[in-house]
A and B are shown apart, each in its own frame.
Chain A
Amino acid sequence: GQQVMQIPQYQHVQEGEDFTTYCNSSTTLSNIQWYKQRPGGHPVFLIQLVKSGEVKKQKRLTFQFGEAKKNSSLHITATQTTDVGTYFCAGTIYNFNKFYFGSGTKLNVKP
């Protein structure tokens, strides 16, 4: 069954507003990755989190890994139209070769 749940499914924001997507796993994750897929494109790796409670930043993007390593979030501050796309989390559980992808959050940014 589904190992990694992701919400919300869709998010429409006005340019300049913030955006957050959340991933939750029923099982402790070994690590979690985040990917961005532009419309019509393929997923592109953004970042990987490994440690409990880890927080990483990439410009306006902030990624967090929960203390229990069962949840993660991606927060975008002051969205821009270039942020449009679907954001996926992907976690590994014990087997580092096998990834469980969340269902993705599709972000639409209105100018």
Chain B
Amino acid sequence: SQTIHQWPATLVQPVGSPLSLECTVEGTSNPNLYWYRQAAGRGLQLLFYSVGIGQISSEVPQNLSASRPQDRQFILSSKKLLLSDSGFYLCAWSVQVGSNEQFFGPGTRLTVL
């Protein structure tokens, strides 16, 4: 069966510090991968998605970046965090053919102080 892992679960970082959030998927090959951000009490904002290794589509211009160094690994990064980067970061995957139901990871709750 497929599983998706995200870490860390919670993170408190000072403004201006770097960020690296990791997401890995097990039990499937060549998945679509997604990073979303959810502000408190709000909807999901698509940040990045990837259809293959090294292929990243950016949806929102900001100080975040994403990379996919391996087929089932998706990394969200920032060189300098802003207060507005606080939120709940969710990684998700879907298959590329057939039903494109998205499976979400447990999320990382980031607080930038």
Contact = CB atoms under 8 A, between A and B. Distances in A.
Nearest to A89: B43
Give the top 5 A-B pairs by smallest Cβ distance, nearest first.
Answer: A103-B43, A42-B104, A101-B44, A45-B101, A104-B43
Interface residues of A, number: 22
A103 B42 contact: yes
Contacts, number: 54
Interface in B76-113: 90, 94, 96, 99-107
Interface of A: 6, 31, 33, 35, 42-45, 48, 88, 90, 92, 96-104, 106
B58 to A, nearest CB: 11
The contact size tier of chain B is 20 to 34
Interface of B: 32, 34, 36, 41-46, 49, 51, 57, 59, 90, 94, 96, 99-107
A92 B101 CA distance: 11
